[in-house]
């Protein structure tokens, strides 16, 4: 099975890793079963985060019951050196003495980047954790390719994590060659574009065909975990059916699909545009706005869109943002009579 070297970390792992977002939705018992099975199948890199509620704890519990060791990657949104305390929490949750890769999670603007890299910023907290042997390598994750580009050029990180799928292929040109030149490990997140791509075969065959990256799709059921593994194990290349599906979806989502880069911000009404544009998959993943308060807050705020259009020229993908917000609000409202929302 294809193995990838994660740049200067000198960590060698299979090209298919596993991401710990979806198991938050599973029951405790099902989650533990999935994680154990994933490791038994041969996955040797697991990614999680402090932000994924019970994910770290579930992974920690499951790993106690399997004999194999895996490369662990986690992350935190804390922007000050207090991130060190989050590393301690991650170690406790994962029940390990050391985490192989620890990332600054979703650095979303240059202000944010300067904060984490500046005096008293999170990077210093991770350096301390590294010096004390609590983590091996420092990574950074972002949906914004320009931030990742800068981070790679500044050579402070060993690993980057970037969105990559056939709906979001830009990293292949803008990020991968640069990261390889600087000898960084590349973790490719969101191969299904946050649940938008439903054909796992086409999605994974596309990502797995790209050299030197490790894909980290998550799965909350055994069936999905096995399906993903089988796609990887079979080594089948993209076929004509996949290509037709990719073309169809690209056309369908042309000027509809939000890449979550936040270039459109700031919104004059403080609307979380990217969340509102991706609200269908968010509701599918986390439950209805009625059940999850932060989703409800995002939706209510989106109702204040004045259609001022200030965000429009800032979106490099020319998405008709106010129109899409309206469309998604109408979709949410249409759920109401069915008792879903």
- Would you tell me which residues interact with ligand SF4 (CB under 6 A)? 258-264, 267-269, 271, 273-274, 277, 305-311, 315, 317, 319, 321-322, 325
| Cβ closest to ligand SF4, residue 80 vs residue 256 | 256
Query: Which strands, in side-by-side order, build the sheet including 71-76?
Result: 18-19, 45-47, 71-76, 99-104, 135-142, 159-163, 185-189, 214-215
CB 202 within 8 A of CB 165: no
Which stretches of 218-320 are DSSP H helices? 222-234, 240-253, 273-277, 279-286, 293-302
Distance between CA atoms of residues 53 and 181, nearest Å = 35
CB of 314 to ligand SF4, least distance (A): 6
Distance between CA atoms of residues 7 and 159, nearest Å = 7
Distance between CA atoms of residues 180 and 176, nearest Å = 6
CB of 77 to ligand SF4, least distance (A): 18
CB of 299 to ligand SF4, least distance (A): 13
Distance between CA atoms of residues 163 and 171, nearest Å = 7
CB of 260 to ligand SF4, least distance (A): 5
| Cβ closest to ligand SF4, residue 78 vs residue 273 | 273
Task: Read off the tokens for 37.
Answer: 């099975």
What does DSSP assign to residue 312?
Answer: G
Q: H/E element holding 19?
A: strand 18-19
| Cβ closest to ligand SF4, residue 126 vs residue 277 | 277
CB of 321 to ligand SF4, least distance (A): 5
Task: Read off the tokens for 294.
Answer: 């932060």
| Cβ closest to ligand SF4, residue 39 vs residue 271 | 271
| Cβ closest to ligand SF4, residue 126 vs residue 311 | 311
The total number of residues shown for the chain amounts to 341
CB of 291 to ligand SF4, least distance (A): 25
């Amino acid at each position: 099975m294809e193995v990838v070297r994660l740049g200067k970390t000198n960590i060698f792992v299979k090209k298919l890793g596993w991401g710990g977002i979806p198991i938050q939705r599973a029951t405790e018992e099902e989650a533990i079963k999935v994680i154990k099975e994933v490791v038994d199948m041969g996955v040797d890199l697991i990614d999680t985060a402090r932000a994924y509620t019970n994910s770290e704890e579930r992974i920690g519990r499951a790993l106690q019951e399997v004999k194999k060791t895996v490369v662990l990657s986690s992350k935190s949104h804390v922007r000050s050196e207090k991130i060190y305390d989050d590393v301690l929490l991650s170690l406790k949750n994962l029940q390990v003495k050391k985490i192989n890769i620890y990332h600054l999670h979703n650095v979303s603007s240059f202000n944010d980047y300067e904060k984490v890299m500046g005096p008293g910023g999170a990077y210093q907290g991770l350096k301390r954790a590294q010096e004390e042997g609590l983590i091996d390598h420092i990574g950074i994750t972002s949906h914004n390719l320009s931030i990742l580009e800068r981070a790679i050029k500044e050579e402070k990180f060993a690993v980057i994590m970037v969105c990559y799928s056939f709906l979001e292929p830009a990293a292949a040109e803008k990020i991968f060659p640069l990261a390889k030149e600087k000898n960084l490990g590349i973790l490719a997140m969101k191969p299904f574009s946050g649940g938008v791509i439903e054909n796992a075969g086409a999605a994974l065959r596309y990502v797995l065909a790209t050299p030197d990256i490790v894909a980290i799709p998550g799965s909350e059921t055994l069936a999905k975990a096995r399906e993903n593994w089988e796609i990887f194990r079979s080594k089948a290349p993209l076929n004509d059916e996949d290509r037709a599906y990719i073309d169809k979806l690209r056309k369908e989502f042309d000027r509809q699909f939000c890449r979550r880069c936040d270039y459109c911000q700031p919104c004059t009404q403080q609307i979380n545009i990217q969340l509102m544009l991706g609200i269908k998959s968010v509701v599918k993943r986390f439950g209805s706005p009625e059940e999850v308060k932060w989703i409800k807050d995002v939706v209510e705020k989106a109702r204040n869109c004045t259609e001022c259009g200030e965000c429009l020229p800032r979106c490099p993908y020319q998405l008709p943002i106010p129109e899409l917000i309206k469309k998604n609000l109408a979709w949410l409202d249409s759920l109401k009579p069915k008792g879903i929302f």
